[in-house]
Structure 1
């Protein structure tokens, strides 16, 4: 009898472990808009998107929230809550950026402050808005509304409710995360993993073509500069000194081997649910896949072909290197609380593209199964 009972207990333990492994990964997305990265995570059966928070970066936080709400309607995922986050960086501003440019030269991309390209480029220029302008979502304004909770407070509440279980995926400036850490010193230690897209080490133009050459302009003479960190350097530095259980950084470097090509968008659109496919078909091609690499790493870490363990910080001195990424191997770090990070340097682009198409097919299969 004891032998039988012992055997049943072992079987139950194995079943519990199997179920735990099969459970979707809990994710919160912190970003500055809505694009393929969101769709990959929303359509994947391996991820449970608990919520999405928005921050100013490429667009102002309110415009970003509108894009996310409309994107969720297109994906039929209105069940996912949206919390609007920080409108302004901690210290940086449009006026300071203009002063910096007068002293040290023009920035290629300024996000929400962008009014014109410095030189001709094939990429279109987004419509310029003020920080409090009414919603003007390119693919239609949403019917849904943001939650009444500020993004930093939402993040703090969720990690306390699910300690060690949530992965935060951040693909914009890190203002919301810095605010959450300053409000609650336990915040970072309660996050299972932070994966963020930001920073730049020494990107090389790998992919051929006009689009790759144009995006290479940003790092040819300034290899350590990247927009997400440059928009709010102080927030990036605070995040770099916060006690994360696991920290994964995806700088610009691996994106130079990728491109959101017209052919890839066509493949994804054909594989996706109908409304999502139409949305993808309308996307502008010719961009590196910065954020898509983040989603790809989350869903298939095996696509990473080279990574390095480094200690990271960002330059917060108002000078020519303001916002640039700083990095050290362990023995050489300053020892002021910099956190160890896994830094992704190279990926398998073909494997990423196959994954992107596959996640769309998962969404289509789930939609077909739900039909009466």
Structure 2
């Protein structure tokens, strides 16, 4: 697997999701590629390098990726707030004072001092898109792409190699939102808006149109059925392994396990108890629906080249929670 992530930190969902895959004996992680999303890519790279040091997995390369989306930019997003209203989460573009995100804003190439300490290891001397293409050709039809942030790096890989998708085993994506049943203000009044697709809609469009052997999608709809609880944290903190102690010290939020579910369901497909086959794309029309998720059934889909997607709908929560806790408690994989 190649893990493509917007690795904000320390701790939290993005780091724990990567750890699900790093801690599993069933997965060989070829590399962690970073993309701006929840934070800027240079800072994410530093957090991820430090996480690997603390959980004793510096054998896995961290590969810098796209700092900016293909087309969408921060200035446009700020203008849209004035005209169309505000969203709850803007990631790297957010202002903690304005949006109560708890994440101070800084310029793209700035790496502020890290609470968990600055890493001493260095990122790979290669960019994410070229790394992906090289690894997929080195392991033809064996590599799954795990995409848990905006899809910029993967879109760039597809532009470098138009057959990139076909050389993989498939792709799993955390993104999109259809009709989540939730009172969460981020989605209750705007159910088709989801951050990963919205941050770089053009990249999501390119990736969803590519001819992957299989596409699995973890949407907001199923993600909001998960929750990281204090009881789960207590179980993890009781272990004295490096990963458990990293989570116990640096994860301070109790929220949905978006990316962790995506990772766990790929390792153990029985976690997903119901799925729906739909054709998925992203709205590229400038305006209030820019970046929104589009979906069709086989009967209603357009004639244009849209791809079949396995959209996860229901999960075995107990099975997932148990697997997640055990992986966070596990010793480092060799």
TM-score, L = length of structure 2: 0.94
Corresponding residue for residue 301 of structure 2: 333
| Counterpart for residue 263 of structure 1 | 231
Match for residue 109 of structure 1?
89
Q: Where do residues 276-291 of structure 1 align in structure 2 (5 Å cutoff)?
A: 276-282=243-249, 283-291=251-259
Q: Secondary structure, in 3 states, of the residue corresponding to 1:244? A: coil
Secondary structure in 2 aligned to 1:91? coil
**Which residue is 1:198 aligned to?**
175
Of residues 343, 349, 352, the one that matches 2:311 is 343
Instruction: Say whether 1:153 aligns with 2:130.
Output: yes
Partners of 2:277 and 2:309 within 8 A in 1? yes
Distance in 1 (CA, whole Å) between partners of 2:239 and 2:21 is 15
Residues 318-352 of structure 1, C-alpha deviations (whole Å, 9 max, x = no match): 11100000000112111221111101112122211
CA shift for structure 1 position 245: 0.7
Partners in 2 of 1:311 and 1:250 — Cα distance? 14
Task: Please say if 1:79 is aligned against 2:59.
Answer: yes
- For structure 2, the 5+ residue unaligned runs are 8-13
The change in CA–CA distance for 1:117 and 1:353 in structure 2 (over 3 A counts) is: farther
How far, CA to CA, are the matches of 1:119 and 1:300 in structure 2? Answer: 36
> Are positions 1:222 and 2:199 aligned together?
no
1:313–1:325 contact (8 Å) kept in structure 2: yes
Which residue is equivalent to 1:54?
Answer: 34
What is the SS of the residue equivalent to 2:43? Answer: helix
Choose the corresponding residue for 2:115, options 133, 138, 141. 138
Distance (whole Å) between structure 1 residues aligned to residue 232 and residue 330 of structure 2: 17
**Does the 8 Å contact 1:268/1:356 carry over to 2?**
no
Q: CA deviation at 1:83?
A: 0.8
Distance 1:119 1:63, change over 3 A: closer
Which one of 200, 214, 220 corresponds to residue 232 of structure 1? 200
Partner residue, 1:170: 147
The more displaced of 167-176 and 133-142 is: 133-142
Cα distance in 2 for partners of 1:88, 1:264 equals 35
Could you tell me how far 1:358 is from its partner in structure 2? 2.0
Partner of 1:29: 3
Supply the distance in 2 between the matched residues of 1:158 and 1:264 (Cα, whole angstroms). Answer: 35
CA distance in 1, matches of 2:260, 2:173: 11
Cα distance, 1:362 vs structure 2: 3.8
> How far, CA to CA, are the matches of 1:231 and 1:360 in structure 2?
29
Given that residues 243 and 330 in structure 2 are in contact (C-alpha distance below 8 angstroms), is that contact kept between their aligned partners in structure 1? no
Bigger share in helix: 1
Larger radius of gyration between Structure 1 and Structure 2: 1
Q: Is the 8 A contact 1:269 1:276 kept in 2?
A: no
Q: Is the 8 A contact 2:175 2:220 kept in 1?
A: yes
TM-score normalised to structure 1 length: 0.85
The equivalent residue for 2:68 is 88
Residues 227, 256 of structure 2: 8 Å contact kept: yes
How far the C-alpha of 1:217 sits from its partner, in A, is 0.4
Matched, 1:352 2:320: yes
Q: 1:358 to 1:272 in 2, by over 3 A?
A: farther
Contact 1:29/1:49 (8 A) holds in 2: yes
SS in 2 for 1:306: strand
Q: Deviations over 1:75-115 (max 9, x none)?
A: 11111011100000000111000111111110110000111
Match of 2:10 in 1: none
Distance 1:75 1:330, change over 3 A: same
Q: Distance in 2 between matches of 1:52 and 1:256?
A: 25
